[in-house]
Amino acid sequence: MRTLFTGGRIRGGDGATGLVVEDGVLTWLGAGDPPPAEETVDLGGADVAPAFVDAHVHATSAGLLRTGLDLTKAESVADVLDAVRDRAEPDVLLWGHGWDETRWPDNRPPTGAELDSAAGTTPVYLSRIDVHSALASTALVDRAPGAREAAGWSATGPLTRDAHHLVRRAARDTITPDQRRAAQLAFLQNAAANGVACVHECGGPDISGADDFRDLLDRHASLPRVVGYWGAFDDPPAGAHGLAGDLFVDGAFGSRTAALHQPYTDAPDTSGARYLDAERIAGHLVACTERGVQAGFHVIGDAAVAEVVAGFQRAEKVVGQAALSAVRHRLEHLEMIDAEQAAELARFGVIASVQPLFDAAWGGPDGMYAKRLGPDRAATLNPFAMLAAAGLTLAFGSDAPVTRVDPWATVDAAVEHRTPGHGLTEPAAFAAHTVGGWQAAGLTGGTLAVGAPATFAVWRDRTCLRTVLDGTTIYEVP
């Protein structure tokens, strides 16, 4: 069927006010007399733009934030404990997310004893805002054999590293398939309502599990497209787009697990955690390149970035620069990088999957980055302008539930970077959240032109009125 959308203001359309969609493709774009159509949609002067792509999400966790315990607005230890106390049910898992002690007057998370007092016999899992550490009640830890002996165990505070992964897996295994599917549906519907037509799921054995990943990839009708990345060395579940995403080289700044060359300013006894070395990174790059499969890694701290660059250089000696570049491997976050490293990664055709709302949340002279690293090192983080100038393709994402799915706020954060000189122009930021997202997955999209996929969103004052994916409306304002 041929559908005419008329009476709009089309971004990049050189004054075009209407477009025609047929069989999922834009077949006409202009301001004059359109071809005949079986259906006409009056846009009422609204803006039309390519739909957004969120290049890094965790759909189930983000959905559970909507249906579970949202701690993103907690302002103290007492707020967290009161929320747990109000929602706790004996022997029923309570999943929460989003606490950030760096914003609190206490400047500390709840202790294990405090959490147990509030939780009683309720198994409680509360991930920190960066999802690289979590609080867990004794009732949940008892369901995670080996957690107390694993690296990252703490009897008094948050769990990190292997202990966190074990406890998270125990919490995840407690969620029923129906709860999981409801969380996924809630997340995808919310993404569509924010003008997002495609999301890149970053799953893996320590993140979501194979059943979760398969369930998400099976969702098609009237929802955003899901491009699934499996963060592991082994063969992924069927339908995975690549062995990439959150294959961890290190952790995160907030949990002090991002790998650094020099110790943390506010914790001089640690330089974070590095999980992979250059040899292991190179082996994965070689194996994936030879199979024509996208590889990728989660990499944040400067020591982790150095290891990744060395891994690419080792892989080049085996498969060659041209073969590496052809596959367009990707790196998630890539926060603490210098110009020389950026130029080297650009030489290998790397996609930089980055999250501007990280800077909005934790950048600036008084933010979490400055507390963890000191102001000088913090000012080097998330240098989007330098990455783009080096030739890296940028793809914007939210890392939901770490930050919210809010594409326009993401564009604004990239433009209004809290470190002068690191920001992008508005057109470049918009392109990174549209064209860049499709390119990151080796797909075509992000433009409105005759012959292009009919994937767009309709806006009025940045409120999404309609989201269309390949000619099918996946969201329409009630």
| The amino acid at 331 | L
Write out the residue range of the structural domain in which residue 113 sits: 61-174
Q: CA 275 to CA 260: how far, in whole Å?
A: 12
Q: Give the pLDDT confidence score for residue 206 in this predicted structure.
A: 80
Six token digits for residue 408: 């326009």
Residues 360 and 253 in one domain: yes
Task: Report the pLDDT value the prediction gives residue 221, as an integer from 0 to 100.
Answer: 76
Residue 184 pLDDT > 90:
yes
Across 360-462, the runs of DSSP E, i.e. the strands, are 393-396, 456-460
User: At residue 208, does pLDDT exceed 90?
Assistant: no
CB–CB of 279/286 below 8 Å?
A: no
Q: What is the pLDDT of residues 428-439, one digit of tens each?
A: 999 999 999 999
Q: How many domains does the chain have?
A: 3
The CA distances from residue 87 to 75, 82, 90, 122, 172, in Å, are: 18, 9, 10, 10, 18
Residue 45 pLDDT > 80: yes
Same domain for 291 and 357, yes or no, is yes
Least trusted range by pLDDT, from 210-214, 257-261, 352-356, 385-389: 210-214
Q: Which helix (H) or strand (E) holds 125?
A: strand 124-128
Establish if 267 belongs to a structural domain. yes
169-191: average pLDDT: 92
- What pLDDT is attached to residue 91? 87
Same domain, 399 and 358: yes
Mean of pLDDT values over 379-396? 98
Is 228 domain-assigned?
no
Asked if residue 470 and residue 416 are part of one domain, the reply reads no
Contacts 24+ apart (CB under 8 A), 118-121: 118/81, 118/82, 118/84, 118/85, 118/88, 119/84, 119/85, 119/88, 119/94, 120/88, 120/90, 121/90, 121/91
Token readout for 459 is 């806006």
Residue 149, classified by CB atoms within 10 Å of its CB into exposed (0-12), middle (13-18) or buried (19+), is: exposed
Last residue of a domain, one of 174, 206, 234: 174
Model pLDDT for residues 209-266, shown as the tens digit of each residue: 899 999 999 976 789 999 999 999 988 999 999 999 999 999 999 999 999 999 999 9
Whole-number pLDDT of residue 438: 98
- Out of 174, 206, 232, a domain closes at 174
Residues 275 and 335 in one domain: yes
Closest by CA to 463, choosing from 406, 412, 410, is: 406
This prediction has a pTM of 0.94
> Is the CB of residue 213 less than 8 Å from the CB of residue 230?
yes
Identify whether residues 260 and 404 lie together within a single domain.
yes
Q: Is the pLDDT of residue 440 over 90?
A: yes
| Average pLDDT of the residues in 143-160 | 95
Domain-located, residue 189:
no
Q: What is the mean pLDDT of residues 440-461?
A: 97
Instruction: Kindly report the CATH number assigned to the domain that includes residue 93.
Output: 3.10.310.70
| Residue 335 located in a structural domain | yes
> Domain check: are 121 and 161 in the same one?
yes
Determine, yes or no, domain membership for 91. yes
Together in a domain, 33 and 116:
no
Q: Both 289 and 412 in a single domain? A: yes
What is residue 66's predicted lDDT score, i.e. its pLDDT? 80
Residue 106 lies in a domain: yes
Q: Is residue 226 part of a domain?
A: no
CATH of the domain at 341: 3.20.20.140
What's the CATH number where 7 sits? 2.30.40.10
Please check whether residues 416 and 464 belong to one and the same domain: no
Q: Which one of 157, 174, 191 terminates a domain?
A: 174
- Same structural domain for residues 140 and 269? no
In a domain, 238, yes or no: no
pLDDT digits (tens, 9 = 90+) for 63-108: 998 878 999 999 999 999 999 999 999 988 999 999 999 999 999 9
Asked if residue 382 and residue 273 are part of one domain, the reply reads yes
